[in-house]
Amino acid sequence: MKTIALAAAKGGVGKTTLAAALATAATLYRPGIKVALADLDPQGSLAQCWNARALPQPTLIDLTGRPLAPTRCGVR
Give the CA-trace dihedral at 54, 57, 63, 67, to 10 degrees: -130
Q: In three state form, how does the secondary structure of 8-73 look?
A: CCCCCCCHHHHHHHHHHHHHHHCCCCCCCCCCCCCCCHHHHHHHCCCCCCCCCHHHHCCCCCHHHH
Taking the domains of the chain in order of start, what are their residue ranges?
15-73
Minimum mean pLDDT range among 19-23, 47-51, 70-74: 70-74
Residue 59, pLDDT score? 57
Model-level pTM greater than 0.95? Answer: no
18: pLDDT strictly greater than 60: yes
30: pLDDT strictly greater than 60: yes
